[in-house]
Amino acid sequence: MLSLVLIGYGPIASYVRDHLPKDSGVKIAAVLCRPGREDTARAFGGADVMIATDVSDLPTDQLDLAVDCAGHGGLTDHGVALLQAGVKVLSLSVGAMADPDLAQRLEAAAQKGKTQLEFATGAIGGIDALSSAKIGGLSQVRYVARKPPLGWAGTPAETVMDLATITKPTEHFRGPAREAALRYPKNANVAAMVALAGLGLDATEAVLIADPTAKGNHHAIEASGTFGTITIQLEGKTLPDNPKSSALAAMSMVRSILRHTASIAI
């Protein structure tokens, strides 16, 4: 039985809880939440699930995997302590790796705990092909994100355009994936995933576009190297109960968890 601790209890965590098959050999043993949120977390987890606000309160020797469903804050607040305690961490918050100090502390903690920080592929496909192509040599990788204008609300895009009135696709960022991930922490996990799978955060170009004609969140990868060329396009939907959470990202988290118990993994 694979024993999990969930970090957070929001839309991604709810999807994970609801879509783990009963016969999967996976058990949600605990939920980590913010202080003062214990009652809500308890209602989410049920009577048999331990609720904690700090890693020090958890029986880490009885946990196999920590599943970070709380965004960058969850990984920043709890990732180092979990890894140091020897608990493998699975996260969607790959954009947090754009912070060199945090990335270094997470890597050092994983080495100390003799464990691993793993990132689910999230809202994009083709990461396996891109990371394989990296072995032979990549010469260029570009990631392009198109979202409806209001999908960029609350981001630096608001400082360069009026999102409510634009009538045609308008680019509001072009630059290194690291800068995109740091400036758009809630919107650029995909840019960071593409970058880390390929040429790295500083050599991967990210282009962010507000597009009033877009029906959903559109992701594209263009890459070339000794292997040939890759062009991947994906238009993703959000979770029905949360327009800010990618449905495919939630699905990728469940898939990653189930790979830990599968006799044959793909």
Catalytic machinery residues? 219
Give one word for 221, left, alpha or beta, with left for phi > 0 and alpha for psi -120 to 50: beta
String of b and e for 246-260 (b: at least 16 CB within 10 Å)? bbbbbbbbbbbbbeb
Q: Tell me the CB-side half-sphere exposure of residue 69, using CA atoms within 13 A.
A: 29
Give one word for 144, left, alpha or beta, with left for phi > 0 and alpha for psi -120 to 50: beta
Going by C-beta distance under 8 Å and a sequence separation of 6 or more, which residues neighbour residue 205? 141, 142, 143, 174, 175, 176, 177
Of 28, 40, 74, 27, the residue nearest 54 (C-alpha): 74
